[in-house]
Amino acid sequence: MPKWGYSIIAEELDPEKTVKASGREIRVSHKHAREVCKTIKGMTLTKAKEYLMDVMDKKKPVPFTRYNKKAGHKGGLEKTFAGRYPIKAAQRVLKILKNAEANAENKGLDTDKLRIIHTAAYPGMKIKRYTPRAHGRASPKYETLTHIEIVLEENAGQGE
């Protein structure tokens, strides 16, 4: 049994209409993953998959709202102007989204009616390494891993 849980309260979810999927200790920037997750929250499953594929093809940018220092302006953004194309983060989020879709098919839910109701990306464990420097010294080099969570819910009335 895992020792971790989800950041969404389990009592609020209907177990027959919701599915969860998560990726733990993923080697991707937690800042980029946060912005990707914030962007796809509220989208339908098919729309989110198309959007992530467009991000990987550099057709649509991801708006950066918090981590936007020195981020260039991109066309096609509405509320914010800073944006980027976080390809690696989009690939990992798409993989977790497909895992959630497989979980929904296993439960017998209609995948055309699924909507993303919760996404989260936050820092995980830090891997500490050392970089050799001059005169026999070494500097620490940290790599922060990322946890990504996605929860889908089946909507009764609408499907896109």
Q: Residue ranges of the domains in the chain?
A: 17-154
Q: Strand pairing partners for 40? A: none
* CATH number of the structural domain 17-154: 3.90.470.10
- Note the pLDDT of residue 156: 67
Pick left, alpha or beta for residue 141 (phi over 0 → left; psi -120 to 50 → alpha; otherwise beta): beta
- Note the pLDDT of residue 24: 95
**Are the beta carbons of 31 and 65 closer than 8 angstroms?**
no
**Integer Cα distance of 125 and 138 in angstroms:** 22
Neighbours of 142 (CB within 10 A): 8
**pTM here?**
0.89
- Note the pLDDT of residue 9: 87
**Integer Cα distance of 82 and 84 in angstroms:** 7
- At residue 123, the 3 state secondary structure works out as strand
- Note the pLDDT of residue 79: 79
- Note the pLDDT of residue 104: 95
Q: Tens digit of pLDDT per residue, the chain (160 long)?
A: 668 888 988 888 898 999 999 999 999 999 999 999 999 999 999 999 999 999 999 999 999 999 889 888 988 888 789 999 999 999 999 999 999 999 999 999 999 999 999 999 999 999 999 999 999 999 999 999 999 999 999 986 655 5
Pick left, alpha or beta for residue 2 (phi over 0 → left; psi -120 to 50 → alpha; otherwise beta): beta
Output the CA–CA distances (angstroms, integers) from residue 9 to 13, 45, 118, 150, in the order listed: 7, 21, 11, 13
Q: How far is CA 72 from the centre of its chain?
A: 21
**Integer Cα distance of 98 and 102 in angstroms:** 6
- Note the pLDDT of residue 10: 82
Q: Which letter does DSSP use for residue 99 in this model?
A: H
